[in-house]
Structure 1
């Protein structure tokens, strides 16, 4: 099995947890589950209990909206010899049952003069980054640290959920298992590999600690970040960024059990690095990270080159708005910057101060300073658009500071300075530049306003012309050169954010360069929607028309290969090896087109999981360049009620985009002449008329129409008969 295939087969964390519950119920005859809305067909707010009540109806109980009540009943069942798992819908509400854990369940273990087993496990989703607001997004772990006889665990993609739950149930004392909500749609790690660059191993007895490290560098850390649960992904993203920018080996360790804390298995690793940080999403003060720092300081203080760095979210309630939520919660960039500053990695690869340029070399720069240029960002574009300057003109920047955002045909990329100095821009927002063109200069000192350029200072040429002389420095508060003066603005204005500017650049290029045609067909969707609803109930996956359309478009690639190609020149089309389908996701005014890769090989449930991943990433603006690149056709989804017809733009260098309107209703006679209400959608195709003619477009859309109206053609998942 290839590494890619092995990764594709890994279950989602939610699937792993659901299977774990089913296996435990199969094995433990006295196991009960209590919670709000846990019965089928709902199966819990996050579908973790899907299928349990159908199979074990007498042992799965829906409770009233009372966390104190359900925990009290669960504690009583446990005292009577049963095993009990309680699902608290959101971790925020665990506070409502705090008394039952603190004063009843945990004390019952030892207050009767003899040990009394209380096999009670409380599961609760925690954490933000999903836009759920102040009362559904907290990470309350710290409030339960240090309660005698109460064990704490946190789910991760490294640790199998069945092993965690089984361990917690067999303790004989109550336990809480925290589950970061952002993990539910992520894949489990398997075969000791995270991705092509990072591996992991489990260290220590029992559930152990997961130790993630760059491939081939298991025993040579420059810095170790201790990160439980969902924070581990952010720590890994920070570690990758620090490796790329500074060549440093940053390792991440993740426990399954938070408390009682057993730091022993990873102490040798922490001591060998000498620098340690703890990253957790909760707020500061009395945290689990403080417990880690205390244990590390007590046992390996002499090996540390600095105190343990404690990283937490801001001391604030958690806002609902995505951009404000990101300001409050600890993110990968926060971890990266904190580690970089603590370690002193302020310059180029390897840290330290940059070497002085040899006098007379191009890097010396003369009065123009040291130039920094446009990097090669992808193989699809010859030029990139300057979308936004991230640093003020004349401001000091350190090496590796991101200073300018460039738009490509697929995504927006932030470009870092290649050295340090005072910024002098050579390109303006809206300029279209090629790789190697000069973006700006880094000056050794601030230039006085209006300072003349030094005679003889050579300026490297751009691809088509020469770079204009750098502008003199000006106060940071001065308007951008392309901005409308404040006094000329209307009373109310809307500034396009960086994501909207990126969308504007892509669609403007498409509108200029693609001579598009458009064709639309009407599709009856009663049968496919009914079958999707039935499959959703049986599988637990949330399936809708979007997944069926993606599957139908993917299935057409073999018979219509040109529709999935790209123009090499006016006479040549490069054909794709497989359908990689972009799907529009529109959140908070920002449009993204992430890609479902090899969609013809994916099940409807897998496509549904992928689209859900995309929606979550859009909310958090967490897309990577890989998520948004590589598509060879796109699908524009427009499900809002009343949307009849959508004419999309073709996303250059693609040749086609399929559009789907909202589901509508109309009275229509069937083959027998009986009139009845029918559901339908309009499916359109915008196409590059240089490659696709109108007749081919009709044949392609007819193929999609037939697949949707006869859903058995989409594959085995939809082949059952109804009725």
Structure 2
């Protein structure tokens, strides 16, 4: 789906990593005595997570790569700070801050006050922390709890609510050392802004720049919450997911509080809210024992003991090392499923109590007949959000059970959602909105909703079983049937005379059914041509290997092919277009290249946007991110949408040629076989090894003819056979340093 003028998806908040990078650029532009130290920070590498990209180019004398010694890095940073400079130190992976513990405990923090008068030590140590990335036991931990309680050491945490520049500026201005924890799962997520989380939740900021973000169901305002969850930044999305589920399954109001400063903790701005809450819950990814949550509970017991309706519920990850395998890692780390179940169990929300209306609204709706919610079902295993593409019935229209009412776009296909009951439809979400599993799409009302009227309460018992995935279903007074996660087995087919009945059958899962729907449409609607050329890629492979040694990034042929395809955009704009009608082709603004990622029986085609502007390193990082998301089946709809050409990667040894499917509404897909070798005589007759691949192009013959297909492939081949292209690509993208989004 391509963005058009007025498209509500056209204005998208920056990713957290981009926001943090811009914050650092603005700080360096303003602070003439600000230094940054760490491993592999300088361009073109720009740090393991690209947070420092562009800084060494702009400030080469103040952004310095160091040897691999965390103790030495923090010690040097502390010394620079004592000499009157402001210093930021990056620990590549937060696990290794343990190697700098002595410098923080016995030097930086003590230097503030052990000389008989206060000495400023404006030092901030940045630490990427947390799991859910498949990095294993020594690169996935959350060590925040080990630094709580150290005098003169302030702890901060990155969040999608807080302005990173303001937080870092505050930390550097205080004159005491601080640690800025950055949960790695946030880097690829987007910032929240304009007071809105999504279609269900809004937020407000309480206190100072390092204070609290308060997220709450949109229509509640000052209502008293059934529970308040305190969650550091990295736990935000899991806590919000749990809040949505508890609302959909039990009709409960759950608010979220996220601080930018973990310790010392200023509870004053949020004490009134916490004192009114039914239950208080603290969620952390660290293991239990000596945690931030324990410190929160201690302070709350001191200050609002008489208002607490029960013990503060502390939820942590399992007492275990963190595995690398995604399915094992998810069992160890604290996730939304466990948060949902633990809160429901502790609060005694196991059954349907009829408390479906948001707090504060129940009395006003008590005399009105309830509506039946239509919620987002879990349609497949690889999507957590779906895009609303069309409403199939009008507002207020009467629908019967089984009527198709709304279309949702998954990563595989567009699926129509049926009404789960009868009633007059009242839409809750709009076309172009992204919705998560369990979110309310519409409410079915006994009477049409009058203009300006309020939607009546929706009892928890009215919610259909499909509102929650089977993995998060909670206990209830009456048994609820488990939602199906696989399609029903096909009905028996009478055998054809003379044929043999199959010994057994296997139903296709929903992911494969989605793939089937896409390719069926492509076969039905696109008259495909196919052309192949052979390319000598030895020089490019050698150049990529050399660049990998220089930068520390692993480059493969895939990155080079994507850049070579994007390089054809100006000369062959039709190849990146889509048919508007039988006589018109809509042209794209830029090459947005989809790439096949096939893992564990699931096929995805995520999109590298503006591929012509991305550096080779950016493309490599994005591909690695795509492969990780494919393993965890954690793609968002927008990551799989908007491509205008695709590349089918088939690197398995022995794969000579692949004839791909053109993905509607695209017009072309490039295929790449495995690298093969052959011997050819050189100029002196001596045999030499030649490494080559077959490049194929499947194309819509209504728009592209064979001659142009050959020219297009020849352009890609020419780029791949030029050794110097790889080095030029390494620095293609210009860093954006405009103001805050």
- Whole-Å separation in 2 of the counterparts to 1:685 and 1:707: 11
Secondary structure, aligned partner of 1:132: coil
Residues 683 and 27 (structure 1), Cα distance of their counterparts in 2 relative to 1, 3 Å cut: same
Match of 2:76 among 64, 67, 73: 73
Deviates more, 1:106-115 or 1:185-194: 185-194
Match of 2:289 among 282, 285, 304: 285
Match of 2:255 among 251, 258, 263: 251
1:510 Cα deviation after fit:
7.9
Match of 1:583 among 587, 595, 610: 595
Contact kept, 8 Å, 2:578 with 2:587, in 1: the verdict is no
Matched ranges for 1:385-534 at <5 A: 420-421=478-479, 431=489, 518-522=530-534
Contact kept, 8 Å, 1:109 with 1:116, in 2: the verdict is yes
Contact kept, 8 Å, 2:16 with 2:187, in 1: the verdict is yes
Match of 1:100 among 100, 103, 106: 103
1:154 Cα deviation after fit:
0.6
Q: 1:19-41: per-residue Cα shift (whole Å, max 9, x none)? A: 33333333333332222222333
1:263 Cα deviation after fit:
1.5
1:295 Cα deviation after fit:
2.4
Secondary structure, aligned partner of 2:44: coil
User: What is aligned with 1:559?
Assistant: 574
Matched ranges for 1:691-706 at <5 A: 692=701, 696=705, 699=708, 702-703=711-712, 706=715
Residues 698 and 620 (structure 1), Cα distance of their counterparts in 2 relative to 1, 3 Å cut: farther
- Whole-Å separation in 2 of the counterparts to 1:427 and 1:278: 31
Residues 288 and 529 (structure 1), Cα distance of their counterparts in 2 relative to 1, 3 Å cut: same
Contact kept, 8 Å, 2:154 with 2:263, in 1: the verdict is yes
User: What is aligned with 1:142?
Assistant: 145
Q: 1:236-255: per-residue Cα shift (whole Å, max 9, x none)? A: 23333344444544332211
Secondary structure, aligned partner of 2:323: coil
- Whole-Å separation in 1 of the counterparts to 2:291 and 2:21: 29
Contact kept, 8 Å, 1:221 with 1:251, in 2: the verdict is no
Deviates more, 1:576-585 or 1:166-175: 576-585
User: What is aligned with 1:314?
Assistant: 318
Match of 1:48 among 32, 47, 51: 51
Secondary structure, aligned partner of 1:279: strand
Contact kept, 8 Å, 1:130 with 1:619, in 2: the verdict is no
Secondary structure, aligned partner of 1:185: coil
1:522 Cα deviation after fit:
4.5
Give TM-score, length-normalised by structure 2: 0.67
Residues 418 and 705 (structure 1), Cα distance of their counterparts in 2 relative to 1, 3 Å cut: farther
1:103 Cα deviation after fit:
1.6
- Whole-Å separation in 1 of the counterparts to 2:354 and 2:344: 12
Match of 1:213 among 212, 216, 219: 216
Contact kept, 8 Å, 2:573 with 2:587, in 1: the verdict is no
1:419 Cα deviation after fit:
10
- Whole-Å separation in 2 of the counterparts to 1:658 and 1:90: 37
- Whole-Å separation in 1 of the counterparts to 2:291 and 2:42: 35
User: What is aligned with 2:375?
Assistant: none
Contact kept, 8 Å, 1:499 with 1:590, in 2: the verdict is no
Deviates more, 1:223-232 or 1:318-327: 223-232
Match of 1:229 among 195, 208, 233: 233
- Whole-Å separation in 2 of the counterparts to 1:382 and 1:158: 33
- Residue 114 in structure 1 maps to residue 109 in structure 2: no
User: What is aligned with 1:202?
Assistant: 205
Give TM-score, length-normalised by structure 1: 0.68
- Residue 133 in structure 1 maps to residue 136 in structure 2: yes
Higher relative contact order (CA 8 A, sep 6+): 2
Residues 328 and 190 (structure 1), Cα distance of their counterparts in 2 relative to 1, 3 Å cut: same
Secondary structure, aligned partner of 2:162: coil
In structure 2, stretches of 5+ residues that fail to align are: 358-400, 418-460, 494-501, 682-687, 721-727, 733-741
Question: What RMSD in Å do the two structures reach over aligned CA positions?
Answer: 5.4
- Residue 544 in structure 1 maps to residue 559 in structure 2: yes
User: What is aligned with 1:12?
Assistant: 15
- Whole-Å separation in 1 of the counterparts to 2:210 and 2:486: 55
Match of 1:623 among 630, 635, 641: 635
Match of 1:637 among 649, 656, 670: 649
Residues 346 and 655 (structure 1), Cα distance of their counterparts in 2 relative to 1, 3 Å cut: farther
User: What is aligned with 1:163?
Assistant: 166
Secondary structure, aligned partner of 1:57: coil
Residues 22 and 509 (structure 1), Cα distance of their counterparts in 2 relative to 1, 3 Å cut: closer
- Whole-Å separation in 2 of the counterparts to 1:524 and 1:620: 35
Residues 502 and 51 (structure 1), Cα distance of their counterparts in 2 relative to 1, 3 Å cut: same
- Whole-Å separation in 2 of the counterparts to 1:58 and 1:30: 11
User: What is aligned with 1:714?
Assistant: none
